[in-house]
Amino acid sequence: MLKSALHFSHQLLTEVVHEGDHVIDATMGNGHDTLFLAELVGIKGQVDAFDIQEQALQNTSERLTSAQANKQVQLHLKSHEFVNTVLQPNQTIQAAVFNLGYLPSGDKNIITQSKSTIRSIEILCEHLAPKGRIIVVLYSGHDGGKLEKQQVLDFVTDLPQELFSVLMYQFINQKNEPPALLCIERKKTS
């Protein structure tokens, strides 16, 4: 059976993230991906998670504490476009994940923006280890979602193919704008 974008994102991450790795959750939301990544990297790894909403940070902190997985996680109350403030110039990451749109059960007027998303992807591509992956789940069924999806697609389509492979995964016969998944995989260093 074909996997949903969410389940496929976890499969793609599981294939490349190992104990001790450094990874990024660019949109912590309610902390589901943050916890998933924390479990993959284990106590020897590091997860840096970003969100602009205090509620997201609180929800994620509670989830991590409940699972006793908060030692390897740093939560940042700032936009993912500032990911470079926590990464050293030559530091590599094994993976990053984005779930674009709005905070589930939050204010639907506070949404991710293509400008900051693209800037963050650009920075993360510079830090991505060979065979590392950036996963972007695009939700386009909300106001602003279609524009963000198109602008992110335009950006990743132009990534140099000698350095990156970019996959798009989406169900095309489903109603209500099903999410699309992008996987950016680094082939080699520049």
Query: Which pLDDT band holds residue 107 (cuts at 50, 70, 90)?
Result: confident
- On whether the CB atoms of residues 124 and 185 are closer than 8 A, the answer is no
Look at residue 58 and give its three-state secondary structure.
helix
Query: Residue 102: its pLDDT value, please?
Result: 80
Query: Residue 108: its pLDDT value, please?
Result: 81
pLDDT at 189 over 70: no
pLDDT at 136 over 80: yes
Q: Which domains, ranges and CATH numbers included, belong to the chain?
A: 5-186 (3.40.50.150)
Neighbours of 61 (CB within 10 A): 17
Structure tokens that stand for 16 in this block: 């490349």
Query: Which pLDDT band holds residue 104 (cuts at 50, 70, 90)?
Result: confident
Look at the block and give the residue holding tokens 């798009």. Answer: 168
Instruction: Sort strands 164-170 and 128-138 into parallel, antiparallel or unpaired.
Output: unpaired
Query: Residue 109: its pLDDT value, please?
Result: 82
pLDDT at 103 over 90: no
Look at residue 76 and give its three-state secondary structure.
strand
Look at the block and give the residue holding tokens 């680094």. Answer: 186
Query: Residue 141: its pLDDT value, please?
Result: 74
Strand order in the sheet with 164-170: 73-77, 46-51, 22-25, 93-99, 128-138, 180-186, 164-170
pLDDT at 26 over 80: yes
Q: Region 11-19: what's the mean pLDDT?
A: 98
Query: Residue 145: its pLDDT value, please?
Result: 77
Query: pTM of the full predicted structure?
Result: 0.95
Q: Region 14-24: what's the mean pLDDT?
A: 98
